[in-house]
Homo-oligomer: A and B are copies of this chain.
Amino acid sequence: MNQEKQQDRKRVVILGAGYGGVITAQGLSKLANKLHIDITLVNKHNYHQMVTKLHEPAGGHLDGDEVRIPLSKLIDDNVKLVKGVVSRINPEEQKVLLEDQELAYDYLVIGLGSDPEYFGIPGLKENSYPLRSLNAARLIKVQIESCLAKYKTDECKDGLLNFVIGGAGFTGVELAGELGEWLPKVAPKYDVPLDKIRLICAEAAPTVMPGFDEELSKKTAEILQNKGVELKLGVPIKEVTADYVQIGEEQIPSKMVIWTGGVRGNTVLEDSGFSTQRGRANINEKLQSINYDNVFIIGDSSIFLDENGRGLPPTAQIAMQQGEHLVKNLEKYLTGKEMDAFTFVNRGVVASIGPSDAVGMVFGKYRIEGKIAVWMKKVVHYRYLYIFGGLPLVVRGLMGNLPKVNLKENYTTQNG
């Protein structure tokens, strides 16, 4: 390619290889020549992680390589991969600052996901574990084991066996279900009697999975309680210290609080001057930043208002649909056509509650639970693998043989 031609090409930079970012990169990759664009995908890790499955490695159920896929296996060679953490976006100068380099763009896609929201609860941020990444999930698992081991050696045992999950939304419920099944398996490895262990799930709202179907929410609470989870509903966490958690009027000694009770948009957006709502950037119906025409923001990083003016929740399903839609819109935008408004098609949700139970609501109105819900959860997972990597990835997923991440993988060699 001669230099003149290269200068004609527009630079599209995609930030984040989450559910939305990967779909966008894959779609644009196929259109790169047609649209005369050079595509760069920036991600903290050299792998995509399945954030919706992180409760499984946290509960010792899945290995790390089962909840991530190397980006080099998902993204074609005509997309330049950059491993780095975005520290700031400068939309005026059309630049993205990473820790050790600067990337200039003509068009920017932001899919940087979310950060935990601590609602200003004293000590919560400093003394709780988030479940936002594979590394965080692994830390939760090993810290629980550390508490079990310390219970047998430390003189002060206060709170070492009280494990508290803050928040009973989808993440909290799925994690509680997972830990409810794992703790009876792992405790004997440390000679810890199960009846000394408390697994508490605290939620400020009066039900688990607030906002979800009432009947299924009740059913979920029942399943969790049968797994030994103590539910504390309608009581807010008021304070967390290194030694205890204050839930409503009750002070519970604990060395291990996992916070799943809230998310906000990735703080980089707010810090970079985008107009945001709880950290999620405001966008128009075409997924375009309301501040900058050449910036598109999808997934948890933005807040999309539906026809009733309500913000869509931060879910993988929405991020993926937005990624698909954005590819079409960018094609139109870059060829001077009118972009379409995004509409979310709710395909339903399924929450797993431990490896062997689940509840869900599908096709907008059908409640499912038990085996059929567990099966549906698998369908959702394989559908995701299909979208990401076609039949080959589904087959590898079914065989428990997803491509392994090579941490030393050097992008510059492979992807130029």
Q: Which candidate, A185-193, A207-215, A300-308, is the interface stretch facing chain B? A: A185-193
Residue A143 contacts which of B135, B146, B408 (CB distance < 8 angstroms)? B146
Once the chains are docked, how many angstroms separate the CA of A193 from the CA of B193? 36
Are B139 and A189 in touch, CB under 8 angstroms? Answer: no
- Asked if A150 is at the interface of the complex by the 8 Å CB criterion, the answer is yes
Scan residues 118-175 of chain A and give those whose CB is less than 8 A from a CB of chain B.
133, 135-136, 138-139, 141-143, 145-146, 148-150, 152-153
Scan residues 360-416 of chain A and give those whose CB is less than 8 A from a CB of chain B.
405, 407-408
- Asked if A265 is at the interface of the complex by the 8 Å CB criterion, the answer is no
Are B149 and A139 in touch, CB under 8 angstroms? Answer: yes
Once the chains are docked, how many angstroms separate the CA of A193 from the CA of B150? 27
Complex contacts, A253 vs chain B, CB 8 Å:
none
Complex contacts, A141 vs chain B, CB 8 Å:
149
- Asked if A64 is at the interface of the complex by the 8 Å CB criterion, the answer is yes
Residue A150 contacts which of B139, B145, B148, B153 (CB distance < 8 angstroms)? B139
Q: Which residue of B lies closest to A133 (CB)?
A: B153
Complex contacts, A148 vs chain B, CB 8 Å:
142
Are B153 and A149 in touch, CB under 8 angstroms? Answer: no
Residue A135 contacts which of B133, B135, B153 (CB distance < 8 angstroms)? B153
Once the chains are docked, how many angstroms separate the CA of A136 from the CA of B193? 17
Residue A149 contacts which of B138, B149, B189, B191 (CB distance < 8 angstroms)? B138
Complex contacts, A191 vs chain B, CB 8 Å:
64, 135, 405, 407
Once the chains are docked, how many angstroms separate the CA of A407 from the CA of B150? 17
Complex contacts, A145 vs chain B, CB 8 Å:
142, 145
Complex contacts, A152 vs chain B, CB 8 Å:
135, 138-139
Once the chains are docked, how many angstroms separate the CA of A138 from the CA of B187? 12
- Given A143-B146, A146-B146, check contact A193 B407 (CB 8 Å): yes
Q: How far is the CB of A28 from chain B (nearest CB, A)?
A: 29
Q: Which residue of B lies closest to A130 (CB)?
A: B153
Q: How far is the CB of A64 from chain B (nearest CB, A)?
A: 7
Once the chains are docked, how many angstroms separate the CA of A193 from the CA of B152? 31
Q: How far is the CB of A14 from chain B (nearest CB, A)?
A: 23
Q: Which residue of B lies closest to A47 (CB)?
A: B191
Q: Which residue of B lies closest to A147 (CB)?
A: B142
Residue A64 contacts which of B133, B136, B189, B407 (CB distance < 8 angstroms)? B189
Are B138 and A190 in touch, CB under 8 angstroms? Answer: yes
Once the chains are docked, how many angstroms separate the CA of A183 from the CA of B375? 38
Complex contacts, A135 vs chain B, CB 8 Å:
149, 152-153, 190-191
Once the chains are docked, how many angstroms separate the CA of A267 from the CA of B68? 52
Are A142 and B142 in touch, CB under 8 angstroms? Answer: yes
Complex contacts, A136 vs chain B, CB 8 Å:
153
Once the chains are docked, how many angstroms separate the CA of A191 from the CA of B149? 23
**26 contacts across the A-B interface (CB closer than 8 A):** A64-B191, A133-B153, A135-B153, A135-B190, A138-B152, A138-B189, A138-B190, A139-B146, A139-B149, A139-B150, A139-B152, A139-B153, A141-B149, A142-B142, A142-B145, A142-B146, A142-B148, A142-B149, A143-B146, A143-B149, A145-B145, A146-B146, A191-B405, A191-B407, A193-B407, A193-B408
Top 6 A-B residue pairs of the complex, sorted by shortest distance between their CB atoms: A135-B152, A139-B149, A142-B145, A142-B149, A138-B149, A142-B146
> 19 additional contacts, CB 8 Å, given A135-B152, A135-B153, A193-B407?
A64-B189, A135-B149, A135-B190, A135-B191, A136-B153, A138-B149, A138-B152, A138-B189, A138-B190, A139-B146, A139-B150, A139-B152, A142-B142, A142-B145, A142-B146, A142-B149, A143-B149, A146-B146, A191-B407
